[in-house]
A and B are shown apart, each in its own frame.
Chain A
Amino acid sequence: EAGVTQFPSHSVIEKGQTVTLRCDPISGHDNLYWYRRVMGKEIKFLLHFVKESKQDESGMPNNRFLAERTGGTYSTLKVQPAELEDSGVYFCASSQGVNYGYTFGSGTRLTVV
């Protein structure tokens, strides 16, 4: 089965610009998660979709971050406008349900300069 796909793998943007990250979960996985790892820190939860609905968005840092999951398939995470502190690796994961593990994508390394 295909894994979780994220793109781009790397993105370098200037402060104030907009960036959109995309995640394609494993087909049939209703649960989709976004996480972020800022340099040297732990991986932190951002939000959780169940199908197209936001189940938990308690980890979203501020309103510059907007996540969508149209039709319950792929998800996008938009950062607008980007700030220097948004730099890090953004991971996406999907899961069939609570009693299953989580499959992670390779991540998108975002650098804001």
Chain B
Amino acid sequence: AQSVSQHNHHVILSEAASLELGCNYSYGGTVNLFWYVQYPGQHLQLLLKYFSGDPLVKGIKGFEAEFIKSKFSFNLRKPSVQWSDTAEYFCAVNGAGRRALTFGSGTRLQVQP
């Protein structure tokens, strides 16, 4: 069965700090990988996705993620966070042949001004 681990449950950063949120998955086949964000009071929004090709994926709002197949990882990064990045971040995966997403438990990011 697929599983996704997000190692950090709650991260507190100051503005302009760099961000890296960890995501590891367990799945034996080809995977599609996603990062979603949920801002307070809003719906889940897609930050970026990886299906194939360049393992370094750039998303919206300056976020990027790197797929490292050998480590089963898809960590999310941003060089300089802003207060408006305060939100909950979810890593998700689906495997070839199964369209439903398997989510990690989420990481709550709090950016202090």
Contacts and interface: CB of A to CB of B under 8 A. Distances in A.
Given A99-B51, A101-B49, A56 B103 contact: no
B104 A42 contact: yes
Interface of A: 3-4, 31, 33, 35, 41-45, 48, 55-56, 59, 91, 93, 95, 98-99, 101-107
B19 interface: no
Contacts of A48: 99-100
Contact of A107 (B43, B49, B90, B105): B43
Contacts of A44: 103
Contacts of A45: 100-102
B43 A104 contact: yes
B48 to A, nearest CB: 9
Minimum-distance CB pairs A-B, first 10: A104-B44, A43-B103, A106-B43, A42-B105, A45-B100, A101-B46, A42-B103, A104-B43, A48-B100, A98-B99
A31 B92 CA distance: 17
Contacts of A41: 105
15 contacts: A33-B99, A35-B103, A42-B103, A42-B104, A43-B92, A43-B101, A44-B103, A55-B99, A56-B98, A59-B100, A91-B44, A98-B99, A101-B34, A102-B34, A102-B46
A86 B103 CA distance: 19
Contact of A102 (B4, B51, B101, B102): B101
A103 B102 CA distance: 15
A44 B100 CA distance: 10
B34 A95 contact: no
Contacts of A42: 4, 103-106
| Residue picked from A35, A44, A45, A56, most chain B C-beta under 10 Å | A45
B70 interface: no
Contacts of B44: 91, 93, 104
